[in-house]
Amino acid sequence: MVNYSIVAPFIVYLLILLAIGIIANRYLVDLEGYLLGGRGLGAGVTALTLQSTSMSGFMFLGAPSMAFRQGVWALWYAIGDFGGGLVNLAVLGRGLRQLSETFGSLTPIEYLEDRYPHPSIRAVGSLISIVFLSAYVFAQFIAAGKALESVTGLPYIYGLLLGTSIIVLYTFFGGYLAVAWTDTLQAIVMALGINILLAAVLMEVGGFTGLFSSIASQDPTYLSVWGQGFQHAGAFGVVIGAVLLYSIGYMGIPHAVVRHLSMEESDTAKSAIGINVFFNTFFVYQPYILGLAAIVLLPSLNDPEMAIPQLALTLLPTAVAGILLAALMAAVMSTADSILIMAGSILSRDIVQRFSSREISDERAFLYSRALVVGIGVLGIVVAAYQPPSVSDLVIFAFGALACAFLVPNVAGVYWTRANWQGALAAMIGGSGTNIIWTAAGLQSMTAVHPFLAGIVISTVGMVVFSLITEPPDTDVINAVQTARKSVDAPTGTVKQSTDSLAPEATAIATHLSEKSLADN
């Protein structure tokens, strides 16, 4: 039976998001505005859109499900997730922001080809991105349908159509700016909703002491760092991979990395770090704790991914449960919209404009980008209607494949001038391929090594070995990296004042030096 007291306010919330997309459309003047919001996002929006985009429906469905099934062991993922945004902004944020503007890159894949000049970089990078971003967004659509069905009583397919249609529409109209604005709002809603439920749950179980005592009375192994039944006992490779997946993995996820490109200036990253940590304090661990609470309060739960919705319906008044549904859908939408705009960016900028035999205008690129947003949205609805693997499994698989492909090339591109296109190509193919094979063949149980850890090791080895046995990058690329690095090291405030005026001169100087070097040789 449909619970209209929850459905009605939730539809109002969705319409507000759609209105934001329509308003953002008025500010779109060019392709850079649609893809990066005009590179004008401040620290607060940067921090919150980064985290809400990174968290996804996994936090409301997958994370509590893992804790319900594995116990305290699931917190290894939370430990990495807590520091993931901080590491991403601190290690990659400033350097990538400065370097991407020096090159004039509008997407993470375009940046990679600018940094590692060879068409294979963009071709392979675009293929990996679109395939696994699509898988990632399918997981968000599944989460939307399941959540709406559980909380509102709407049939799964109706919930799926309702949630995904709004996401596609406001992304279609407003582009990156709409995504950033709605993500900021949704980050606040997510943190508010999850903490309301946590407070209610802790009151019900007698606080953390009562919670852990009740869990221990059922099965003490739930409290083991090796997982329920000690199934991961001694598997340090699995634990290390679980921590690293989210602690460093965000540096390889295109829809998270693009947040660096859209910052107002490179110093924005420094201010965003504090906001990021503050938000994580009130959000990251809570879903896992709620999954542990479900072991006690919902022992006969058939679908562990419904732990949070069922706790909300059991413990909260209807109106408050509606807030939690909005929070859950905020997590889904804030990731799905970012993936959709990222996939559209890759199609328009990195495939059509890059490889077309004729010149493609920005106006036509708009159309291609928006067409892919709609196309993936429709395909996602079709795939999600059949409910393939669980949200947690699909998210971890897609996340791992993307991170293993791009993390090493992104970081090496900023910090290692010797890194070249051969090394980057080996890192992308080797890292992503290893993660896929490791997951598909079930090698984690055989080797006690997490697929992400295996993929990152192979990606790193590929980058180092192939970069060293082949020719170094061109002089103009090396000069651009060194110039960007010096700009990042400049005193606070000087970067914004000088970047726009000096970037063309820096490019001209680099070109002149390159030509002079070739002439001298």
The CATH number linked to 290 is 1.20.1730.10
φ, ψ dihedrals at 449, nearest 5°: -125, 130
Please report the pLDDT score of residue 42 as a whole number: 57
Instruction: Give yes or no for residue 111 having a pLDDT over 70.
Output: yes
Q: Give the ranges where 88-218 is alpha helix by DSSP (H).
A: 94-103, 108-115, 119-152, 156-205, 207-218
Q: Residue 108: pLDDT above 90?
A: no
Q: Report the share of the chain in percent with pLDDT over 70.
A: 71
Number of domains the chain is built from: 1
* Residue labelled with tokens 């407070």: 199
Instruction: Give the per-residue pLDDT at 71.
Output: 94
Query: Which of the listed ranges 187-191, 235-239, 514-518 does the model predict with the highest average pLDDT?
Result: 235-239
* Reported confidence tier of residue 377, pLDDT bands at 50, 70, 90: confident
What are the φ and ψ backbone dihedral angles of 459, each rounded to 5 degrees? -60, -45
Instruction: Tell me whether residue 19 is in a domain.
Output: yes
Instruction: Determine, yes or no, domain membership for 473.
Output: no
| Residue with the larger pLDDT of the pair 442 and 2 | 442
Residue 289 predicted with pLDDT over 80: yes
User: Could you give the C-alpha distances from 79 to 162, 219, 423, 500, in angstroms and in order?
Assistant: 34, 23, 31, 39
Residue 41 is classified by DSSP as B
The rounded distance, in Å, linking the Cα atoms of 367 and 399 is 28
In a domain? residue 176: yes
pLDDT at 4 over 70: no
CA 99/CA 453 separation, integer angstroms? 28
The widest CA-to-CA distance across the chain, in whole angstroms, is 80
* Position 406 in a domain: no
Rounded Cα–Cα distance for residues 489 and 479 (Å):
15
pLDDT confidence of residue 203: 94
Most confident by average pLDDT, 169-183, 342-356, 449-463: 449-463
Q: 234 is in which domain, residue-wise?
A: 4-352+362-389
| Residue 232 belongs to a domain | yes
Which residues on neighbouring strands pair with residue 449, listed in sequence order?
Answer: 237
Q: Is the dihedral angle over the CA atoms 321, 326, 331, 333 positive or is it negative?
A: positive
146-186 residue pLDDT tens:
777 776 777 878 877 877 777 676 666 555 555 666 666 76
Distance between alpha carbon 460 and the CA centroid of its chain, in Å?
A: 21
**Identity of residue 440:** A
Tokens representing 161 are 């159509």
Is residue 444 over pLDDT 60? Answer: yes
| pTM, two decimal places | 0.79
